[in-house]
Amino acid sequence: MKIDGAPQKVVGAYLKQSQGTNLKKGAKTENNHIDENLEDISKVKNQGINDKVELSNRSKAMQQLNEALERPQGERQERIMEIKRQVDAGTYNVAPENVAAAMMTDLIKDLG
């Protein structure tokens, strides 16, 4: 949903209502600075200036690392495809000894 210019209109209407109808035309009020700010906002919009976000080098590096981890490459991708074929065919078997050994290795690293 795009709301274009609506906040300025709402604020402007509120200010006019809060200033009352008994003010003389062109009289200065404490809310004039808000009207000037609204005009400045309109000028910026008309110049085509937009907000922009810049990522730090660290966040860019993390994004690249995540992308690299998400896409397997080379021999690893071939191994993954082979395992998928075996799982689909129902022929993939895992040796319980290998799983237990890997778990113990990780545990020892964690305790460390």
Q: What is the pLDDT of residues 1-22, one digit of tens each?
A: 455 555 666 666 666 666 555 4
Which residues, 6+ apart, have CB-to-CB distance to 41 below 8 Å? 8
Amino acid letter, residue 21: T
State the Cα–Cα distance between residues 86 and 112, nearest whole angstrom.
36
Q: Find the helix or strand (DSSP H, E) in which 10 lies.
A: helix 6-19
Token pair, residue 24, equals 């003389």
State the Cα–Cα distance between residues 63 and 28, nearest whole angstrom.
53
Mean per-residue pLDDT, 27-36: 61
Token pair, residue 66, equals 């995540």
Mean per-residue pLDDT, 82-92: 95
Read off the pLDDT band of 77 (50, 70, 90): confident
Backbone angles phi, psi at 28, to 5 degrees: -85, 140
pLDDT number for residue 22? 47
Read off the pLDDT band of 74 (50, 70, 90): confident
pLDDT number for residue 54? 80
Does residue 49 surpass a pLDDT of 70? no
Mean of per-residue pLDDT scores for the chain: 75
